[in-house]
Amino acid sequence: MRIGLDFDNTIVCYDGLFHRVAAEQGLIPADLPRNKVAVRDYLRRIGREPAWTELQGTVYGGRMAEAETYPGVRDFMVWAVAQGIELFIVSHKTRHPFLGAQYDLHQAARDWVDASLVHDGAPLIPAERVYFELTKEEKLARIGACGCGLFLDDLPEILAAPGFPPQTEPLLFDPEGHHPTVSDIVVLASWDMFRRHVAARCSATP
């Protein structure tokens, strides 16, 4: 079995990091909830959209090394590798931020994978199975080219896109319950739920 995984907000949780960097820069009140969406919505509400755009470049670039995984990510990957499952990361992001310092966002993400997704000194996902595409269309094509049987993503618009490969089961990662009524797509609130879903698929495969 081959499983594809989105990167930002699926493997990587930025909630604490966005709040910390925004607070360091004096962009938000200290009592704002510690999550990415709260920071984004606050800055947009007060008319600071450019500050939000630049903040994203800082977090995804210069401060990427401080980002954390969602709970259960490494446990799932260690289990999947032991089952003989091939894991792929397929994401899309611009190469450089729209505003601010021109970090190489693809290299920052790869460096994070190399440092964070390891077990007993070995990579959980080999570098040749990690893809950062520039557009959504290229991401969808890559999912198909990798032959993924399942794909986990936090964006319903990716999973429901006309170009999503028909042979791939779409799975929505939604730990905060932002999309409770997505039709025809299995919604998973945690990586433990994802593991149980994958285990059930494995046991059902002849």
- What residue spans define the domains of the chain? 2-13+68-204, 15-66
The separation between CA 74 and the C-alpha centre of its own chain, rounded to angstroms, equals: 14
Residue 45 CB contacts under 8 Å (≥ 6 apart), including other chains = none
CATH number of 2-13+68-204: 3.40.50.1000
Task: Tell me the pTM.
Answer: 0.93
Q: How confident is the model at residue 97 (pLDDT cuts 50, 70, 90)?
A: confident
The tens digit of pLDDT for each residue in 147-158 reads 999 999 999 999
Q: Which two tokens stand for residue 148?
A: 């993924």
| Summary count for the chain: helices (H), strands (E) | 8, 10
pLDDT tens for 42-90 read 999 999 999 999 999 999 999 999 999 999 999 999 999 999 999 999 9
Neighbours of 94 (CB within 10 A): 14
Does residue 180 carry a pLDDT above 90?
no
